[in-house]
Amino acid sequence: MKLQAFLDGELPEGEAREVLAWTRRDAAAAALLAELRNTGQALAKSGPCLSVPESREFYWSKIEREIRSLEQRKISLASRFFRRFLLPAAGLAALALVAVLAARHFTTAGASHLGPGCEVEVAMIGSDPFTYHDYSKGTTLVWLSYPAENESSDSGSDDTLD
Protein backbone atom coordinates (compact mmCIF):
# COMPACT_ATOMS: atom_id res chain seq x y z
CA MET A 1 0.00 0.00 0.00
CA LYS A 2 2.87 2.35 0.81
CA LEU A 3 4.55 1.43 -2.45
CA GLN A 4 1.50 2.54 -4.45
CA ALA A 5 1.25 5.75 -2.43
CA PHE A 6 4.97 6.32 -3.09
CA LEU A 7 4.45 5.87 -6.84
CA ASP A 8 1.47 8.24 -6.80
CA GLY A 9 3.49 10.87 -4.90
CA GLU A 10 1.11 10.86 -1.95
CA LEU A 11 3.65 10.23 0.83
CA PRO A 12 5.29 13.00 2.88
CA GLU A 13 9.00 13.57 2.12
CA GLY A 14 10.22 11.64 5.18
CA GLU A 15 8.13 8.55 4.48
CA ALA A 16 9.07 8.68 0.79
CA ARG A 17 12.79 8.52 1.75
CA GLU A 18 12.08 5.53 4.03
CA VAL A 19 10.25 3.64 1.26
CA LEU A 20 13.06 4.40 -1.22
CA ALA A 21 15.66 3.10 1.29
CA TRP A 22 13.51 0.01 1.90
CA THR A 23 13.31 -0.80 -1.84
CA ARG A 24 17.12 -0.48 -2.10
CA ARG A 25 17.60 -3.00 0.75
CA ASP A 26 14.83 -5.47 -0.19
CA ALA A 27 14.89 -7.06 -3.66
CA ALA A 28 11.26 -8.25 -3.43
CA ALA A 29 10.05 -4.74 -2.59
CA ALA A 30 12.09 -3.33 -5.48
CA ALA A 31 10.59 -5.91 -7.86
CA LEU A 32 7.07 -5.07 -6.68
CA LEU A 33 7.72 -1.33 -7.10
CA ALA A 34 9.00 -1.94 -10.66
CA GLU A 35 5.92 -4.08 -11.44
CA LEU A 36 3.56 -1.40 -10.12
CA ARG A 37 5.37 1.28 -12.13
CA ASN A 38 5.19 -0.83 -15.34
CA THR A 39 1.48 -1.59 -14.80
CA GLY A 40 0.69 2.10 -14.30
CA GLN A 41 2.57 3.04 -17.50
CA ALA A 42 0.83 0.27 -19.47
CA LEU A 43 -2.58 1.45 -18.31
CA ALA A 44 -1.77 5.04 -19.21
CA LYS A 45 -0.76 4.04 -22.76
CA SER A 46 -3.43 1.35 -23.30
CA GLY A 47 -6.39 3.28 -24.57
CA PRO A 48 -7.95 6.63 -25.03
CA CYS A 49 -9.81 8.09 -22.15
CA LEU A 50 -13.45 8.39 -23.13
CA SER A 51 -15.29 11.53 -22.22
CA VAL A 52 -18.97 12.32 -22.20
CA PRO A 53 -20.15 15.59 -23.79
CA GLU A 54 -22.50 16.32 -20.84
CA SER A 55 -21.63 17.16 -17.29
CA ARG A 56 -21.22 14.30 -14.85
CA GLU A 57 -24.46 15.12 -12.96
CA PHE A 58 -26.51 15.36 -16.17
CA TYR A 59 -25.08 12.09 -17.52
CA TRP A 60 -25.95 10.15 -14.33
CA SER A 61 -29.37 11.79 -14.07
CA LYS A 62 -30.17 10.46 -17.58
CA ILE A 63 -29.23 6.96 -16.45
CA GLU A 64 -31.34 7.33 -13.30
CA ARG A 65 -34.36 8.49 -15.35
CA GLU A 66 -34.00 5.50 -17.67
CA ILE A 67 -33.88 3.09 -14.71
CA ARG A 68 -37.01 4.66 -13.23
CA SER A 69 -38.88 4.46 -16.54
CA LEU A 70 -37.98 0.74 -16.79
CA GLU A 71 -39.32 0.21 -13.27
CA GLN A 72 -42.55 2.02 -14.19
CA ARG A 73 -42.94 -0.23 -17.25
CA LYS A 74 -42.54 -3.30 -15.04
CA ILE A 75 -45.21 -1.97 -12.66
CA SER A 76 -47.59 -1.19 -15.51
CA LEU A 77 -47.03 -4.67 -16.96
CA ALA A 78 -47.89 -6.22 -13.60
CA SER A 79 -51.02 -4.09 -13.21
CA ARG A 80 -52.08 -4.89 -16.79
CA PHE A 81 -51.63 -8.63 -16.07
CA PHE A 82 -53.67 -8.25 -12.88
CA ARG A 83 -56.50 -6.40 -14.63
CA ARG A 84 -56.54 -8.64 -17.67
CA PHE A 85 -56.16 -12.12 -16.15
CA LEU A 86 -56.25 -12.26 -12.36
CA LEU A 87 -59.27 -10.04 -11.77
CA PRO A 88 -61.57 -11.99 -14.15
CA ALA A 89 -60.25 -15.28 -12.78
CA ALA A 90 -61.07 -14.16 -9.24
CA GLY A 91 -64.57 -13.17 -10.39
CA LEU A 92 -65.11 -16.58 -11.99
CA ALA A 93 -63.87 -18.33 -8.87
CA ALA A 94 -66.31 -16.33 -6.75
CA LEU A 95 -69.19 -17.20 -9.10
CA ALA A 96 -68.24 -20.88 -9.00
CA LEU A 97 -68.16 -20.78 -5.20
CA VAL A 98 -71.61 -19.17 -5.09
CA ALA A 99 -72.95 -21.79 -7.53
CA VAL A 100 -71.53 -24.67 -5.48
CA LEU A 101 -72.91 -23.27 -2.23
CA ALA A 102 -76.32 -22.62 -3.82
CA ALA A 103 -76.45 -26.13 -5.30
CA ARG A 104 -75.51 -27.62 -1.96
CA HIS A 105 -78.15 -25.57 -0.20
CA PHE A 106 -80.90 -26.54 -2.63
CA THR A 107 -80.03 -30.25 -2.62
CA THR A 108 -80.13 -30.44 1.16
CA ALA A 109 -83.02 -27.99 1.67
CA GLY A 110 -85.68 -30.71 1.93
CA ALA A 111 -83.45 -33.32 3.51
CA SER A 112 -83.60 -34.60 7.04
CA HIS A 113 -80.47 -36.34 8.27
CA LEU A 114 -80.82 -39.73 9.94
CA GLY A 115 -77.20 -40.20 10.87
CA PRO A 116 -73.71 -39.91 9.53
CA GLY A 117 -73.79 -40.62 5.83
CA CYS A 118 -77.57 -41.08 5.67
CA GLU A 119 -80.04 -38.62 4.25
CA VAL A 120 -83.78 -38.63 3.53
CA GLU A 121 -85.06 -36.20 0.95
CA VAL A 122 -88.67 -35.23 0.41
CA ALA A 123 -89.38 -32.73 -2.34
CA MET A 124 -92.49 -31.27 -0.69
CA ILE A 125 -94.46 -32.10 2.42
CA GLY A 126 -97.19 -34.58 1.54
CA SER A 127 -95.65 -35.45 -1.81
CA ASP A 128 -95.61 -38.99 -3.01
CA PRO A 129 -91.92 -39.65 -3.83
CA PHE A 130 -89.59 -40.44 -0.93
CA THR A 131 -85.77 -40.68 -1.39
CA TYR A 132 -83.33 -42.29 1.03
CA HIS A 133 -79.53 -41.88 0.57
CA ASP A 134 -77.01 -43.90 2.55
CA TYR A 135 -73.66 -42.47 1.41
CA SER A 136 -71.56 -44.75 3.61
CA LYS A 137 -72.93 -47.83 1.78
CA GLY A 138 -73.48 -46.10 -1.57
CA THR A 139 -77.20 -46.85 -1.52
CA THR A 140 -80.11 -44.77 -2.81
CA LEU A 141 -83.74 -45.84 -2.39
CA VAL A 142 -86.63 -44.01 -4.07
CA TRP A 143 -90.16 -44.90 -2.89
CA LEU A 144 -93.01 -43.84 -5.15
CA SER A 145 -96.62 -43.91 -3.99
CA TYR A 146 -99.11 -44.37 -6.81
CA PRO A 147 -102.46 -42.60 -6.72
CA ALA A 148 -104.21 -45.95 -7.27
CA GLU A 149 -102.76 -47.22 -4.00
CA ASN A 150 -103.82 -44.11 -2.16
CA GLU A 151 -107.34 -44.13 -3.58
CA SER A 152 -107.93 -47.79 -2.76
CA SER A 153 -106.81 -47.32 0.82
CA ASP A 154 -108.92 -44.18 1.18
CA SER A 155 -112.14 -45.86 -0.01
CA GLY A 156 -111.67 -48.78 2.32
CA SER A 157 -112.75 -51.32 -0.34
CA ASP A 158 -110.59 -54.06 -1.74
CA ASP A 159 -110.78 -53.99 -5.51
CA THR A 160 -109.63 -57.29 -6.95
CA LEU A 161 -109.77 -58.56 -10.46
CA ASP A 162 -111.80 -61.66 -11.06
Residues 2-12 have pLDDT tens digits of 888 888 888 89
pTM of the prediction? Answer: 0.31
Q: For residue range 30-83, list pLDDT tens digits in order.
A: 999 899 999 888 887 776 667 777 787 888 888 898 888 888 777 777 777 777
pLDDT (0 to 100) of residue 162: 45
**pLDDT over 60 at 113, yes or no:** no
HEC string for the chain: CHHHHHHHCCCCHHHHHHHHHHHHHCHHHHHHHHHHHHHHHHHHHHCCCCCCCCCHHHHHHHHHHHHHHHHHHHHHHHHHHHHHHHHHHHHHHHHHHHHHHHHHHHHCCCEEEEECCEEEECCCCCCCCEEEEECCCCEEEEECCCHHHHHHHHHCCCCCCC
Q: Is the pLDDT reported for residue 146 higher than 80?
A: no
